[in-house]
Structure 1
């Protein structure tokens, strides 16, 4: 009987990484599989004659990672019953807790399945004999290879579509914050797909695949450590995983690791895109006839074999604007740029300082192309042409943003923001909006506050491009204050005149306000769904509209005239007793005023898994009115009847809210992996942001029941909350409370502030 699989020592050997680990791990696993085979066939009828054990797919490629499935085919000659051998193989594998992709088929049945199934067909291209009848394995491998070649054109079409769909579904290795190392664009699967395409007859030089081998093996090494560190299958490199994996592979930190991943992913993606463009072009040509060698596009440019090209790619380029003319043409078609043309453009003269008007206009036209401009800029950047246009871009290249709000690296985020801005141009000057969106985070590649540094860089860049000084100032101002509207809208009371006056003083003109509003949306949309939502858009619009009215001459008391409480809420106040009204994403609670109403209701909302995003408090004549707006989550459904029942119980002292919240925390603690907390705990007091209240800003790690704990701590210190704005940023929160003392005054006493700070920092600590 075969011994158990001993792999713990190998998994713990940190000296073995990447391909070396895969080779060693594969040898251990396959030696054990051969021992299982010997045991299985020893007791089987016929002794295993007419059968073979074959490694296919990733195992066939010798790329077994710690949590990879074993990809095994029990191959049989025609008419051979392999059920007994199969049981002797599969059950011991399952008993070891290994994941298994398995099948039992004859050569004929396997080839028949591979004739129409891409996954089966490609898995057989790496078929490798493990045990049994080697001639049987050889027959299968050879026929599978010949069938793949024989139907090569059809398989290339199928594979091409599969590559496109996979890229859409799995993102990009080079630019995503948490990339899919295997299936993403620029991942391991792209290297495999190029090998399959070459086997199908695509004109891919073997040297191209050899050049990718190093990048492939780098990503494979990261995947090995991802499986080791997480102890689970999967290929998405999360923020939490990055911190643990970096030192395992000798990187100084996660940023260094992810920079390497970005370089590897970018190189694979570039080669993959170039190769598949050629393959698709050739497929189209064979279907509809060859393209004419040169088809005039615009100016003196041509479409040559499906790519934008200079008419004579061997001639010197004397036109300094040629790079931009080629880029604009490629974005408009859209298509890729000829490699010889990119090489020729490297020798083009610089544009000078300032640029000629034509170059500036072409640059804006490129940005106006929206998403079509992104692959064009990537091509220019890969050939060193983009940084010649924008030298300040260099430090942003592949720069990781370790912030769960962001989906992309800094450079890709800027291009995505410019793309989003191209759709919002009707709201303001299109050219200025696109420039501001393109440059708003360019300061992140430099020391210092990125908004302040970005303002200086934007001034330099736009001046060099030849923009009018007034336009330069507009773009620079937008870059400096691109966070103003979303930050104020989510963290400050929009009914407070001081809030609107602050924004108006900062923007000064309606034109600047309109530009900032559009930049805010472009930035948010390009960042990700956590950064821009319907709720945030509504708040930003409300802030922008009120500020616009003030800038256009309205009085501030007229601008913030939205009543709170509303007439309907005042009717609830007049009824007395406990009144609860809930609709959509808001709940209003009326009850006799006493300390602790706010934190008790907040606790009930937390108990029902509802995240509070804003709250307002009002009291008069011994009655309290608290209004909460909540995030309903993906379903958008809130069981307000059950919530209301618990609110009544907690207000009547019939619900052990603290105990229930502690129980919920213990229950949910192990269900989710913790996020990355990027903001240190802090409590800040601002007595200038409001005329009649202290703005208390609390920053720290989010957790279940946090709002309850914070507001309970304030209640214990006789601090009254008037308004709350709750802003969640991934695993962290930035909460703002408008508070007054028990006497209704601002909190200015430093000793009192120190005690409040002490209590709130304690509330931020996770419950043991």
Structure 2
């Protein structure tokens, strides 16, 4: 069972419903047949009920239309859960029953007046967000009672895939929480688990021959066969692991809701009066609406004007207003007038006020008139789990972050539009920055940017990952590192914009994507590149190391370890008599202490070796480190038994040589599961081969470690091609546990 099967069942049901509506003479305007709940989500299981509602305007009399629709459906053998309600009744029912409100978040058009369905969907979503502060505590209480009554899917002897804690109902609730935009839920992980449970439920219903969500003991063998798992035990582990993961996500999300509600300050309601904001646009009851002077068919700037003012005032853009402008407004001519571009930039610069306004533009179809290319990334999930949001929401969040940085750049308009479009190439078969560049260029031209602005937007979209990738995977002291930046970024203005976009993009991704350490790496690299541009230097400088004073402990043949606190960790300086393996022993010391290594730099001060480490632990005792290091270096403590490779999570480690990345050393890049001991495994393997590690650059991106090692022979030369390939193979085998 797959999404394709559910989609096929849903499509067949849709056709039957549409035929029944047409056969009953259902009105083309003022009434619509809609699907809600699981049917609305296009997730019909083999024996699911069809949840449908015949909705109509309050002044539309349907007569016997409803019965004329239901009877043909029953004759077809469909199991329908049906209702007939006016739009005001829908709102009242949703207000009185939170379960109805949840079902209506997934409503979908089947037949009749599509505009009515769109209006209702927009209204229900806006209503849900508007009343979420009051409704979420009630939803949590309802969820808690269900959990107490039914137990947890991960531990039940007869799991209920839908109603138990960690089941499909919880996944639906979490999606409703996401729809409030109050808190974040790991979308990719949740969706993976939810779809896996839907697949399991489909199989369970096929096995049982009825609408069952429960897995009775005798089903596990059949379930294992259909899931292509080894046995019933494997099937149980598969299902229960999913339930446990959803339970974790649910608990995490509800804690975030609690925190949000605790911090939230409720403003006093405003009087429902019409306050003029701009030509044709006014504020009424905390919503931006059109006033009597508005002429949608004559004023192409009206939609952008309303949206910009709503965002700037951090109020609602009335869905009815946006829908009317989408339907009746006049299109902007290409290239856009200057006023239109300025209004669009004001919208993007509004900060937090952008969120709800952008969603309203999407839901009402108004955004299609402004930015039709957006549909390609709308609701598109990121491939990387480090992202908190889908591609579209992440792009909006990047604009919000960029709005706080516009004082640092000369072209705020370019920064904000680039922030919005930086991932516009996502979903393509080629690398998204490559695919996005021509799309962004065409959009910038349509928006009326000058030639320089168009080039800047296209360049920023193409190279928006350049700074962060280079800063976190290359030795910052290697002259070739700055050269990588300047190969593509040719002037100070572009570099300044790229620096701001990099920060905004990272902050919008997740807190882990813009730690103070990572910020320091990126900003330091950008600063060095700016200095190079300012000096006009063409050739890279040679490597240089600042010598350190050799401590007495090292002069006596021992090891000196000094810990200096940083704002977000520590800097550890280690000096000892130089030897191959010195870096590996210190890496083992950190690994055994479960200290996360961020970067390491090594250089010789004959006859001593100096290593400087930046680590995430803020409080380290140098005496403990020295004792552990001495035990490792003297062979009294074998780190290989404690830091052996962990079980693979399905992806083999990637180890490659980057010949273009270094000028005086051979660059080895390692990507593998993030875990303690990775640096040790790599450096210990290289030490056994007699290879010197000149520096190491360590980074973590989501669940993956991305580490770069600059290698030299003991004689300080780069590695020959065969020697480098052999080293890469040995490191790959060590990380894979071979």
TM bracket (short chain): 0.5 to 0.7
Per-residue CA deviation, residues 284-310 of structure 1 (Å, 9 max, x unaligned), is 36xxxx533x22222231222331111
Cα distance per residue 1:573-625 (max 9 Å; x no partner) = 65653222222212122222222211111011011111111111122433222
- 1:45-444 to structure 2, matched below 5 A, reads 193=135, 224=164, 226-227=166-167, 242-250=191-199, 284=269, 291-292=272-273, 294-312=274-292, 317-347=297-327, 348-428=329-409, 429-444=411-426
Indicate which of 707, 710, 731 corresponds to 1:760. Answer: 731
SS in 2 for 1:531: helix
Give unmatched runs, 5+ long, in structure 2: 1-5, 7-94, 103-126, 140-159, 176-184, 203-226, 228-241, 251-264
Residue 701 (structure 2) aligns with: 729
CA deviations over 1:216-249 (Å, ceiling 9, x no partner)? xxxx977758349999x99966755644542331
TM-score for the superposition, normalised by structure 2: 0.64
Structure 1: runs of 5+ lacking an equivalent: 1-14, 16-155, 164-184, 198-219, 266-279
Taking a change above 3 Å as real, the CA distance of residues 760 and 355 of structure 1, as seen in their structure-2 partners, is same
User: CA 1:651–1:324 in structure 2 vs 1: closer, same or farther (change >3 Å)?
Assistant: same
8 Å contact 1:491–1:726 — kept in the other structure?
yes
With over 3 angstroms needed to count, the CA separation of the structure-2 counterparts of 1:620 and 1:192, relative to structure 1, is closer
> Equivalent residue for 1:644?
626
Q: How much has 1:472 moved relative to structure 2?
A: 0.6
* Distance (whole Å) between structure 2 residues aligned to residue 566 and residue 486 of structure 1: 29
Residue of 586, 602, 605 corresponding to 1:601: 586
Distance 1:457 1:604, change over 3 A: same
RMSD, aligned CA: 3.9
Mapping of residues 354-753 of structure 1, within 5 Å: 354-428=335-409, 429-553=411-535, 555=537, 564-568=545-549, 576-584=557-565, 585-632=570-617, 636-661=618-643, 681-750=653-722, 752-753=723-724
SS at match of 2:706: strand
TM-aligned CA distance change 1:583 to 1:314, over 3 Å = closer
Number of positions where the alignment pairs a residue of Structure 1 with one of Structure 2: 521
Tell whether the 8 Å contact from 2:587 to 2:680 is kept in structure 1 after alignment: yes
Measured after TM superposition, the shift of residue 729 of structure 1 is 1.1
Q: Distance in 2 between matches of 1:614 and 1:196?
A: 48
| Alpha-carbon distance in structure 1 between the residues aligned to 2:163 and 2:368 | 32
Aligned partners of 2:683 and 2:571: how far apart in 1? 19
Closer, same or farther: CA 504–712 of 1 in aligned 2, 3 Å: same
Q: Against the structure 1 CA distance between its residues 470 and 221, is the aligned structure 2 distance closer, same or farther, given a 3 Å change threshold?
A: farther
Q: Note the alpha carbon deviations across 1:112-151, whole angstroms, 9 max, x for none.
A: xxxxxxxxxxxxxxxxxxxxxxxxxxxxxxxxxxxxxxxx
User: How big is each residue's C-alpha offset from its partner over 1:190-213, in whole Å with a ceiling of 9 and x where there is no partner?
Assistant: 59939979xxxxxxxxxxxxxxxx
Q: Which residue pairs with 1:108 in the alignment?
A: none
Offset at residue 653 of structure 1 (A): 2.7
Q: Please say which structure displays the higher CA radius of gyration.
A: 1
- Aligned in 2, Cα 1:656/1:456: closer, same or farther, shift over 3 Å? same
Pair 1:331–1:316, CA change in 2 (3 A): closer
Partner SS state of residue 445, structure 1: coil
Summarize the Cα distance change of 1:639–1:411 in structure 2 as closer, same or farther, 3 Å threshold. Answer: same
The alpha-carbon deviation at position 737 of structure 1 amounts to 0.5
Give the secondary structure class of the aligned counterpart of 1:401: coil
TM-score of the superposition, structure 1-length normalised?
0.62
Counterpart secondary structure, 2:457:
helix
Residues 226 and 241, structure 1, Cα contact 8 Å, conserved in 2: no
The superposition leaves residues 263-302 of structure 1 with CA deviations (integer Å, 9 ceiling, x where unpaired) of: xx9xxxxxxxxxxxxxx999836xxxx533x222222312
Q: Is the 8 A contact 2:161 2:168 kept in 1?
A: no
Q: Following TM superposition, by how much is the alpha carbon of 1:649 offset from its aligned partner in structure 2, in angstroms? A: 2.3
* CA gap 1:556/1:579 in 2 versus in 1, 3 angstroms: farther
Distance of 1:762 and 1:342 partners within structure 2: 59
* 8 Å contact kept, 1:370–1:419: yes
Q: Is the 8 A contact 2:187 2:381 kept in 1?
A: no
| Structure 2: distance between partners of 1:559 and 1:546 | 12
Any idea what SS the aligned residue of 1:284 has? coil
Classify 1:370/1:746 alpha carbon distance in 2 versus 1 (closer, same or farther; 3 Å): same
Measure, in 2, the Cα distance between the counterparts of 1:720 and 1:650: 19
